[in-house]
Chain A
Amino acid sequence: MFRHRWNVLSILTAAVFVSAALTFACADDEDTSPTGPSEPNGQDEDDHGPGEEELITTLEITLTPSGGGAPYTVRWRDLDGLGGNHPVVDRIELDAGTVYNGTVRVLNETESPPENITEEVEEEAEAHQFFYATLGGFSPASVTYADKESDYVTNSGADHPVGIAFTLSVPENAANGELRVTLSHYDDTPKDGVNPSDETDIDVIFQVFVRP
């Protein structure tokens, strides 16, 4: 049969266990209360530090005809981030036989005011490069870089292009096609100014309509 022999020792030990359990339980409960609908975590919106992966929602290209004319802006925008709604992508409309001076901006429009991520790319110019590829009927068009790392940072070593500023030449024989813009991040792979890295930050395609 069950023998009740609560000697001093077992009571003492039991007390130790129970107090240990309680201390443990209380300590943890404090910082693990689930964030239910009633208690949304207000810190979320503005509290992500510099090391956190940035959300990029928008890539914006501004093209200005080199012979003069109004600047023309197109956007690739996915305001709700990965998945969810489809991105909204503008069509690029260009004139054949024209040279455009281009600049690119990268934004996080979930913030208000929108966060300009281009500034970060500039700060880390030696670790980033935009690549432009003209595809399909648009392939006769060509893009040349119009900037160098030293435009943004004090350069130490080979002064590779960054691609925030570029020149787009659309010859007479260019037709409708696509423009692919990628941003390579060189965190560990050396940047050589020619090859993309395996860390792609941005990879988007615009449809291009060329007016003859």
Chain B
Amino acid sequence: MNVTRILCAILAIALSGIVILAEARAATVRGKVLDETGEPLQAVTVAFSVLEIGTFTDERGEFRLENVPQGSHTIEFRFVGYRTIRSEILVTENRATALEVTMEPEPLIGEEVTVTGDRDLAGELTGSSQSVLVLPPSALEERRGQTLGETLESLPGVSSLTTGPAVSKPVLRGVHSARVLVLNAGITQEGQQWGGDHAPEIDPFSPARIEVLKGAASVQYGAGAIGGVIRIEPPELPTRPGIGGRINSNLFSNNRQGAGSVMVQGALRRLAGLKWRVQGSLRRAGNARAPVHVIRNSGFDERDYSAALGLTTDWMDTEAYFSHFGTWIGIFKGAHIGNTTDLRRTIERGDPSIVGSFTYEIDNPRQRVDHDLLSLRSLIRLGRKGNLELRYGQQYNRREEWDSQARGGGAPPKPGFSQGLQTHSGEMIFQHRNIGNWYGKFGVSGMRQRNTRFTTGFLIPDFQAYSFGVFALESWTKGRATVETGLRYDYRWMEIYSNEGRRATEIVEGGIHTYSNVTGVLGLIYELAPTLAIAANVGRAWRPPGVNELYSHGVHHGTAQFEVGDKELGTEASLNTDLTLRYRGERGRGELGVFRSQYSNFISLLPADDLVLTIRGAFPKFTYVQSNAVIQGFDGYLEYDLTRYMDTYLSASLVRGRDTAEDQPLYQMPSTRLIAGLDFHLPTTGRLLEAGIGFEGRFVMQQKSFPEGIDYADPPAGYSLFDVHLHAEFAVADQPVRMQFGVHNLFNERYRDYLSRFRYFIDNPGRNITFGLSIPFGQPMEE
């Protein structure tokens, strides 16, 4: 184990620079750990993380820690499947400290223990063999009112694909859309997610917690999770009787956006265990401003609401959650060009042809998106055997899009494209309690989906699809090591309906497609020290081709490409390897991940070296083709508390993608970026509970690695953005009222991001001054 030790020492020094000064006088702490039935628990991690002292319980559940310095320290007990216990103890020399600890089994609803992406363990040292980032409530609070893409953008390895200020999609390690799965309240979000300008339909005020799992997680989540998973969880329902709530209000100067949300929740006194919540939010913005131009028609008008009802009894937890998302989004008009000549003219000019003045009015082109989600989740406790989790989800997504070319006024115009997607999904998972050193779960899942085009233009055909999956995931823990493994089988059946007899530019013949695949994962987590762990993961993942990749046929307005699908496409598969080094110390936290995804039959849109002659002119033809590709890179972050009043953080992401068959870089890979920040915490007094000021710099390099001959313009230059933010929390009538103020893009820098779909036409938005207020009332929140 010499190598490990050396490695451990180097990493510990490199990451933290902490020098431990062993105290002269030390004591021994011993004890015993039992489970809820009084049986001893073996292999429980017992650690003083700050002191970097740790051990494991033996067969009798006993442990012994020597040379513990005197004083008050936080001791931690961690074991997979059980709630982590943290408690402050006083260690003195004269008295041998003996502890007896009973650990409670973990799962309450929404707190399932999963091998990857576990709710409670995700941020923990040995929680996952993959890189999982958690956006906690405080970080979420700072970004309230912004889109999901913007909210996650600051995380290492995450960037966003934007279509103007209102539409932004998260990109995880270079992939997005059909390769990233969004899980909302435990249900896989099913919209028209294949579209680059179709953002996830999530109310930014609804999540209490967002988790980003980078890399494939197909075994747990099925075919869509080839590139990663974003888990969004609404807040847990209150357990204390009484009624409470929160009012949020956010203002943004750039697009004069106002956003607000009201949430009221409670637990019944009479009917113990019954709890509820209702929430509604509004977001309205006008045209955003780039430093030089107003981005015409870039406003949005969003209204969302949700309600939840939960019941806890001694043998089960059930929660019903319903949410509605509805928005109007204006699409920058200058980006809807007529043909390639128009596009070239715009790029050569460098300035948009269409500028405007500020208005809240939304004109064509625009989108109207509605999404209803119903999630029913139950967790049935089966005592020592384990837990049974049942989930049912129903969603209805309706998307309508209006083109800019719509002629005539007066009568309400009909959309150029509109469709409805209905999805039912169900899942049944059995989590077994530890059997020896094994802990895990198995489950089955199924889905039915129907896509219907309304009486408008053709984009993708109507279809009906069924899918079915069965999986098992197990983990084995012994001492400092945890091994995870899992296997899944998926089957998808899809019937495409012919569009014959309906108005269409291309006749699609109906037909049936079936896809099936087996995926597997093997992971290892090794605790090098109580504050340092290394995790490795190798897994296979897959996805069936999307209906757009099979059947697209038409001009893409923003890029003047004639896109053609290929119904013969097969499934895309990948072999993913990643290595993560995780550090959780008292003063610092950090993670460094290296990854490589090797894709076979990688589906991408490439020029077909052909022109499609239309009455609007000749368009270059792009077809969906399959090739082999490798996407690799690294990302990581380090947060460190320099003093009691000052923290610093640094995060970096680098992604490279290569089409290995064509031997050229992949299109639209995110640029390398670095984020550095410094936060000052002000001393708190009296009514001032918390206050701070922070500075952040974001440095984005130019993407130098891109395929030749695909794009109309080279990737834009790199840029640096600077932000300042202040926040303060006051006690007002015994409630913590939070105020925040920020300036984004402080110097009003002109820039265009490579992943902005409007980069041919107009700059990204300029300076944005934000103000936020959060007022809780009634029964305090349980956080």
Using CB atoms and an 8 Å cutoff, list the residues of chain A in contact with chain B.
1-3, 5, 7, 9-10, 13-14, 16-17, 20-21, 24-25, 28-29, 31-37, 40-41, 43-45, 47-59, 76, 78, 80-84, 86-87, 110, 120, 124, 182, 185, 187-189, 197-204
Contact = CB atoms under 8 A, between A and B. Distances in A.
Contacts of A5: 313-315
Contacts of B456: 48, 52
B154 interface: no
B176 to A, nearest CB: 27
A203 B464 contact: no
A84 B341 contact: no
B337 A187 contact: no
B457 interface: yes
Interface in B330-346: 333-334, 336-339, 341-342, 345-346
Contact of A34 (B346, B464, B553, B554): B464
8 contacts: A1-B383, A9-B271, A29-B422, A52-B457, A187-B405, A197-B353, A199-B405, A200-B342
A17 B320 contact: yes
Central interface residue in B376, B380, B564, by most chain A CB within 10 Å: B376
Nearest to A82: B505
B547 interface: no
Contacts of B372: 24, 28
B296 A188 contact: yes
Contact of B394 (A24, A47, A57, A201): A24
B309 interface: yes
Given A31-B420, A35-B462, A187 B333 contact: yes
Contacts of B502: 35, 40-41, 44
A49 B455 CA distance: 10
B339 A40 contact: no
Across the A-B interface, the 3 shortest Cβ-Cβ residue pairs: A51-B413, A200-B338, A203-B617
A198 B420 contact: no
A20 B462 contact: no
A200 B615 contact: no
A158 B342 CA distance: 24
Contact of A36 (B271, B420, B462, B564): B462
A82 B462 contact: no
A58 B271 CA distance: 71
B613 A21 contact: no
B437 interface: no
B616 interface: yes
Contact of A53 (B309, B403, B455): B403
Interface in B424-454: 424, 450-453
Nearest to B424: A25
Contacts of B322: 20, 24
A201 B451 CA distance: 30
Nearest to A20: B320
Interface in B299-351: 309, 311, 313-316, 318, 320, 322, 333-334, 336-339, 341-342, 345-346
B334 A198 contact: yes
A135 to B, nearest CB: 14
A33 B414 contact: no
Nearest to B504: A81
A54 B407 contact: yes
A40 B451 CA distance: 15
A31 B341 CA distance: 41
Interface of B: 271, 273-274, 296, 309, 311, 313-316, 318, 320, 322, 333-334, 336-339, 341-342, 345-346, 353-354, 356, 364, 372, 374, 376, 380, 382-383, 392, 394, 396, 402-408, 410-416, 420, 422, 424, 450-453, 455-457, 462-464, 497-498, 500-503, 505-507, 510, 553-555, 562, 564, 612-618
B612 A203 contact: no
Contact of B452 (A33, A87, A197): A33
B617 A124 contact: no
Contacts of A84: 505-507
Contact of A40 (B337, B392, B501): B501
B615 A34 contact: no
Contact of A49 (B315, B414, B616): B414
B311 A53 contact: no
Given A51-B402, A185-B405, A203-B341, A44 B455 contact: yes
B123 to A, nearest CB: 32
Contacts of A3: 314-315
A104 B119 CA distance: 66
A20 B503 CA distance: 37
B408 A120 contact: yes
A9 B274 contact: yes
A84 B510 CA distance: 17
A129 to B, nearest CB: 13
Contacts of B336: 199
Contacts of A41: 455, 502
Given A3-B315, A52-B456, A21 B408 contact: no
Contacts of B403: 53
B356 A24 contact: no
A34 B451 contact: yes
Given A13-B274, A53-B416, 17 more contacts: A2-B380, A5-B313, A32-B452, A34-B451, A34-B452, A34-B463, A36-B497, A37-B510, A41-B502, A51-B364, A51-B411, A51-B412, A82-B506, A185-B405, A198-B353, A200-B339, A203-B615
A54 B413 CA distance: 12
Contacts of A29: 422
A32 B422 contact: yes
Nearest to A76: B615
B372 to A, nearest CB: 8
A110 B502 CA distance: 12
A187 B313 CA distance: 62
A20 B321 CA distance: 11
Contacts of A58: 615
A171 B350 CA distance: 39
A184 to B, nearest CB: 8
Given A24-B394, A82-B554, A51 B408 contact: yes
A21 B422 contact: no
Contact of B453 (A35, A55, A81): A35
A52 B450 CA distance: 25
A200 B616 contact: yes
Given A9-B271, A49-B411, A201 B383 contact: no
B376 A17 contact: yes
Contacts of A201: 338, 405, 616
A82 B353 CA distance: 26
B450 A34 contact: yes
B462 A87 contact: no
Given A28-B396, A34-B464, A37-B510, A50 B407 contact: yes
A78 B309 contact: no
Nearest to B415: A52
Contacts of A200: 337-339, 341-342, 616-617
A48 B314 CA distance: 58
B407 A10 contact: no
B438 to A, nearest CB: 21
Given A21-B392, A87-B615, A49 B413 contact: yes
A45 B499 CA distance: 12
B614 to A, nearest CB: 5
Nearest to B376: A17
Contacts of A185: 338, 405
